Structure 1
Amino acid sequence: MLAVVLTIGAISLDHLDKAYPPPLENVSALSHEVVDRNGALLRVYTASDGRWRLKADIDRLDPQFVEMLITYEDRRFWSHPGVDPAALARAAVQLLVNGRIVSGGSTLSMQLARLIEPREERSFSAKFRQIARALQIERRLAKREILERYLTLAPYGGNLEGVRAASLAWFGKEPQKLALSEAALLVALPQSPEARRPDRHPEMAEAARDRVLARVAKAGIIAEGEVERASRAQIATRRLPMPAFAAHLADAALRTAPERRRIPLLIDRGAQSALEAVAREGAQRLGQKVSVAMIMADARSGAVLARVGSAGYFDSARAGWIDMSVAQRSPGSTLKPFIYGLAMEDGLVMQATMIEDRPGNFHGYRPRNFDMEYQGDVTVRQALQMSLNVPAIRLLDAVGPARLVSRLRRAGVELALPKGEAPGLAIGLGGAGLTLEALVQAYTALADRGEASALRYSAEESGDTPLSAAVLTPQATWQIADMLSGVAPPQGAPRLGIAYKTGTSYGYRDAWAVGYDGRHVLGVWVGRPDGGSVPGLTGYLAAAPILFEAFSRSGTGITPLPPAPAGAIRLAAAELPLSLRRFSSPHVTPMAGAPVEAAPEIVFPPEGARIDLGFSGGTDASRLALKIIGGRAPFRWLANGRPLAETFRRRTASWKPDGGGTSTLTVIDAAGRTASVRVFLE
């Protein structure tokens, strides 16, 4: 008869269990997470109810913390069926002896039941409901799942729920490796999260932490000496902001896939963090309202390792919420390498080919150099390294603007041109719109032997499908890298072995620097998000120092530029065939009213001058400034018949004489014209 009763009772309980299951599926929404290529957290968002709630994974939690939690909260967790009779009996005895509830005897399963089905009152009926729910939960979930759900939902003060959110807010790190004092605090907080909040009640938080340490030490989990050291540790009294790396990109990724709780990107958090710091520091040096954007990509795969949209996402003074890495701006001179590459590919010029830097009229377009000066005859190598405007337009006029646009399209890059207008020569000097993202994608071709790679932010984006065709030949690409790698680094920056190009848009509105080694491309934009002018803002002075610092601090190292491919050589001027020794554009006409080039004239020092350089005082003599007007660069100076060590492209130079007395100074320009003066040095 007893067996029948028990059987009927068991069947009835089973029916009740199925009829009234625990609301396991009604768990509160989780926070969205955006993570990097290694799973490190880039950015986290509050859940729909405004709480920070991150899913816990036992495999990614500090094992000592888990052991301390179970020892302190529910030491028979792994063996009981959801209810611990011994703990309930202890709680009942404490109630009888003290006349009040001292401890509830709740297991972690019972606490999970309270979290998924919260009730405000503390009563016997509420306790019985928790017991029943705990038994139901144990029938449906493994112990590991119960523990993970508890550590996802446990309250830690304010709008923090779950051990991961708590560890990030109080310690600034994931709970994978915790100090003993940190682990003890995380064990203590859920029992009374508001009363023990470290930022509001540090004394109570410290006392609760120390009680946890004492109990786990008594249980033999940690040594007594460790308890003393952990008790001396300072309590974290300030709540830290949640991670917000690659904030603009994370926002865009979440908008694309709002249904996904966890979104992985190809970003490297180490590189991202370093570049964000460089951007923030660089903007502060450059002044108010200036922002900085950067993109670093693997040229071979297109994977974006870092993308910085502004100098500070939360910096309202710099309009930090605007993502300048995808804003259309004038690219200045940054497209010139592609012009020179096309000209070399067509066999029009070599590095040592001479080209004119003089005023010219190109079908009504009259470009001028940035400094409003002209260098006369220069080599193609010098013209690109000095970023001279007129030689670049001479070459673009020869190869055709439409071909430049076509080659950029092969890289997946579209220039923003005025509606209905065909590409003109002005695109070579920034007369079109381009984003930093597109510019970096174009430069992947220069870093990878002419083959561009589409930029990718997610591993789910296919990187196996190449772009339509090569942007430039490997030989032309090597020539460009050989020239750009010879550009001097900005003042104070070390040589890194990278090739780089700067650019400045009209009116000092945008400063650019794009550099690459044998593997990575890094692009930098500097300017005001509102398009305002910043006097003196140039690519070389503003963006290039940031480029070099970012490359140095990115952690990616420097991959050597590739060796010359077959057929790529650098010839001296004397080795060039006659047809390549000088480039002449067939379409350019001299500027109307352009002045006739005058012979050089030495204006300082003047003829017959006596100049005190300090020889009579017995001290080290000063250098003598030299200045001319007229003539055609380059200029060769001779002192007393002996040439100075270098030639000069500018009309100013200096000379340090060996001694005083009469000296003769002579200058010779590129056309062989000379001027001389005699001076007395003392």
Structure 2
Amino acid sequence: MWRRPIAPEQVSPLYLEALLGYEDRWFPIHPGVNPIALLRAAWQNLRSGGIVSGGSTLTMQVARLLEPHDRTYSGKLRQILRALQLTWRYSKAEVLTLYLNHAPFGGPLEGVETASRAYLGKSARELSHAEAALLAVLPQAPSRLRPDRYPQRARRARDKVLQRLLDQGVWSAQAVADARMETVWAQTPRAPFLAPILARRLKQEGGAERGVIVSAIDAGLQWRLEERLTTRINGTPAGTSAAALIVESDTLLVRAYAGSADFHDDAAHGQVDIVQAARSPGSTLKPFVYALALEQGLIHSQSLLSDVPRAFADYAPENFDHAYLGPLSAAEALARSRNVPAVDLLTRIGANLFSARLRQGGLTLSLPSGARPNPSLILGGAGVTLEQLTGAYAALARGGLSGALRLRPHAPLQERRLLTPGAAWIVRHMLASHRPGVARDAGLAMAQSRKLAWKTGTSYGFRDAWAMGVSDRYVIGVWVGRPDGTPSPGQYGAISALPLLFDIVDSLPRHQQWSAAQAPPPSVSHVEICWPLGTLPDPHQPQLCHEKRMAWALGGAVPPTLPDLDHWRPLRVSLALDADSGKRVDASGCGARRVITREFARWPTRLEPWLSPNRLQRSALPEWACAPQQAPPVAAPLRIVGARDGDVIRRAGPGAPPPTLELRALGGDSAQHYWLLNGKQTHQGERFSLQMTTPGSYAITLLDETGVYDRVTVIHAAN
């Protein structure tokens, strides 16, 4: 028999209304037997000369399911006695639960959840009015009314239920009319499998004990995982599949293993084990580059990073949303998965070292033949398996120790040092500090979202969507996509894999899922730092601290803001000032009576286009008291030619095409130019043609490699 346990509160209320309204209206109040129904059945049987009605309550039907008997008067008497005993011993909810899980639905199907999934391909939580009425009537004649074989019979029986519920006022006329319009459709039930891909893998690997293969799988977690995958994949484009792992953090035992969403789905290559397949990881490797940057003393959690257009040799990464946010802390850049800061850190660490450290920790990157590690690694320019990636993420919950996942309970624990305990703790804390709305919108309860560290990823061309989650008890890895490698446009980690991850997290046992927040290891300290320098506050020079932030630092090191390797300028400068006016003076003193020296803090040049007026004013250097004797050479200012700030643009006339601005970069000291439209990078090059298709405000920014910029705002006014 095929049976999936389910409780009354997990079943659609529509099904319970249909079941009780059709089978046993007085179930909540009778003692297990309805005397009026029995007398009516006896009268009908006497008039017909045979048994045509049994007058059974739901409790009596449960009694017969548990103790089958012949359709005789002695059998009916025994059924009545058992029903009274059930009511005496069990609550109404317990009796109803027995019915929900043991009622026959045709063939080997027992229970409403099993029938709903076998016939309708969905959980009994999600039934429509028509589907609830159909499943309510099937146990009366499960073989004769099987909807996959006899849809017309099933429809007549369903409509009979709908009519009775309408007569009783349980459902409205409109709801019943809509339900009658639904055709009866059911798929042919297929044998249920529990972790079929894992079973095949373990069989191929051998190691049976007396003919029995023992796995580490928790059957309850496996059922819930497969249910979540099936529910989420229903309604996705054809050929879409999913894979997921639930791993115990402490032991690395795999408690649930789904290599695909549906083993029987040939269109989605359901028998392919995605857990072992090499796929592009998208941004899921970013936490490890931040961890290595922490270990090397390059950053702390609140280090100032630059999310701006730039090129790294011949590699010019863009953000997923084609927008740039300017100044960000390391924690914000990781939580928001910004590409440019991650590539910047990888460039400083070295792609070869990064790849070697991952390999040391058990995560081997698959590169094209002849290729060497390069900056694109951090954005998915290599292949990883879900199995190894999950083992690597386990380091965030295990003090930096990753390891090989254990499929069998007696498999040896093979650990590797991937990260230091302090770096692992800080990165996990950074990943658990997401914006609350992201978790809430994706379906995770707020209390849980504050205790789950997670990261998403999307490969180039929307081929792979990832979501990785880490809690104290479990590490969870999720992949969504098409196994054949074809793109799934519009499907990416945050909308495809992340909601599935949260579904899985919400299905975990509450008493096992969370524990108190881990205390930081001794190597981690909580310190106050200052932007833009990134260092500790200097009580003797408060003017250097423009903004204060609390940061997690590793090993007592509080590294300063990283220098721009391509266009360096000191962020901390010492200037000679006229003590009376506060203006700058050169070596001549500009006639000042007294000259003092004072230090100033500046923001990185590349960030200036994104600084607010307050930040710009705070970091502006004093003006000169006199023209300096040796002024440094200054390149011609960078300017936008073709539009002026405040210009109002209109169509040439009714029916004329939308206006087009032909813009050109003039001046500056760089051959590389970036054009941003309303904050998003739109074009690279000296010239930019902007077609203004809709009325509104257009903020146009021209930026070069040195951080010099010009900005104009033009208005496209409706005629």
TM-score category of the 2 structures, normalised to the smaller one: 0.5 to 0.7
The Cα offsets for residues 586-628 of structure 1, whole Å up to 9 and x where unpaired, read as 379999xxxx997999x9x96899xxxxxxxxxxxxxxxxxxx
Aligned-pair CA distance for 1:420? 3.9
> Which amino acid letter does the alignment assign opposite residue 245 of structure 1?
L
Aligned-pair CA distance for 1:522? 0.8
Q: 2:64 aligns with which of 181, 185, 188?
A: 181
Q: Any residues of structure 2 matched to 1:148-547 within 5 Å, and which?
A: 181-182=64-65, 184-185=67-68, 237-240=106-109, 243-255=192-204, 256-257=206-207, 260-463=210-413, 466-468=414-416, 470-488=417-435, 489-490=438-439, 491-494=441-444, 495=446, 496-497=449-450, 498-547=452-501
Going from structure 1 to structure 2, the CA distance change for 1:249 and 1:676 (only over 3 Å counts) comes to: closer
Q: Any residues of structure 2 matched to 1:576-595 within 5 Å, and which?
A: 576-577=534-535, 580-584=559-563, 586=565
The Cα offsets for residues 487-521 of structure 1, whole Å up to 9 and x where unpaired, read as 23342423322111111101110011101112211
Alpha-carbon distance in 2 for matches of 1:353, 1:227: 67
CA contact under 8 A between 1:446 and 1:477: conserved in structure 2? yes
CA contact under 8 A between 1:322 and 1:529: conserved in structure 2? yes
Going from structure 1 to structure 2, the CA distance change for 1:487 and 1:286 (only over 3 Å counts) comes to: farther
> Which amino acid letter does the alignment assign opposite residue 549 of structure 1?
D
Aligned-pair CA distance for 1:458? 1.0
- Unmatched 5+ stretches in structure 1: 1-177, 189-205, 610-629, 631-648, 653-664
Report the counterpart of residue 540 of structure 2 in structure 1.
Answer: none
Equivalent residues, number: 426
Going from structure 1 to structure 2, the CA distance change for 1:588 and 1:383 (only over 3 Å counts) comes to: farther
CA contact under 8 A between 2:324 and 2:679: conserved in structure 1? no
Is the radius of gyration larger for structure 1 or structure 2?
1
Going from structure 1 to structure 2, the CA distance change for 1:568 and 1:650 (only over 3 Å counts) comes to: farther
Going from structure 1 to structure 2, the CA distance change for 1:236 and 1:356 (only over 3 Å counts) comes to: closer
Going from structure 1 to structure 2, the CA distance change for 1:225 and 1:326 (only over 3 Å counts) comes to: same
CA contact under 8 A between 1:331 and 1:512: conserved in structure 2? yes
Q: CA RMSD in A?
A: 4.6
Alpha-carbon distance in 2 for matches of 1:211, 1:392: 78
> Which amino acid letter does the alignment assign opposite residue 64 of structure 2?
S
Alpha-carbon distance in 2 for matches of 1:588, 1:523: 40
Going from structure 1 to structure 2, the CA distance change for 1:561 and 1:507 (only over 3 Å counts) comes to: farther
Going from structure 1 to structure 2, the CA distance change for 1:301 and 1:583 (only over 3 Å counts) comes to: same
The Cα offsets for residues 271-307 of structure 1, whole Å up to 9 and x where unpaired, read as 1111111111211243221111111111211011111
Report the counterpart of residue 17 of structure 2 in structure 1.
Answer: none
- The SS at the match of 2:348 is helix
> Which amino acid letter does the alignment assign opposite residue 365 of structure 1?
Y
> Which amino acid letter does the alignment assign opposite residue 535 of structure 1?
P
CA contact under 8 A between 2:319 and 2:340: conserved in structure 1? yes
Alpha-carbon distance in 2 for matches of 1:319, 1:560: 41
Going from structure 1 to structure 2, the CA distance change for 1:560 and 1:510 (only over 3 Å counts) comes to: farther
Report the counterpart of residue 526 of structure 2 in structure 1.
Answer: 569
> Which amino acid letter does the alignment assign opposite residue 558 of structure 1?
W
Going from structure 1 to structure 2, the CA distance change for 1:244 and 1:211 (only over 3 Å counts) comes to: farther
Alpha-carbon distance in 2 for matches of 1:440, 1:597: 51
- The SS at the match of 1:360 is coil
Alpha-carbon distance in 1 for matches of 2:103, 2:364: 56
CA contact under 8 A between 2:208 and 2:214: conserved in structure 1? no
Alpha-carbon distance in 1 for matches of 2:637, 2:74: 90
Q: Any residues of structure 2 matched to 1:542-553 within 5 Å, and which?
A: 542-553=496-507
Aligned-pair CA distance for 1:258? 5.9
Q: Any residues of structure 2 matched to 1:42-57 within 5 Å, and which?
A: none
Alpha-carbon distance in 2 for matches of 1:597, 1:261: 80
- Using the size of structure 2 for normalisation, the TM-score is 0.51
- The SS at the match of 1:306 is strand
Report the counterpart of residue 100 of structure 1 in structure 2.
Answer: none
- Unmatched 5+ stretches in structure 2: 1-60, 89-94, 110-189, 537-557, 569-604, 607-635, 650-664, 666-676, 681-698
CA contact under 8 A between 2:397 and 2:472: conserved in structure 1? yes
Going from structure 1 to structure 2, the CA distance change for 1:236 and 1:384 (only over 3 Å counts) comes to: closer
> Which amino acid letter does the alignment assign opposite residue 557 of structure 1?
Q
Aligned-pair CA distance for 1:249? 0.5
CA contact under 8 A between 2:534 and 2:561: conserved in structure 1? no
Aligned-pair CA distance for 1:376? 3.0
Going from structure 1 to structure 2, the CA distance change for 1:503 and 1:237 (only over 3 Å counts) comes to: closer
Going from structure 1 to structure 2, the CA distance change for 1:372 and 1:675 (only over 3 Å counts) comes to: closer
**Bigger relative contact order, structure 1 or 2, given CA contacts below 8 A and separation 6+?**
1
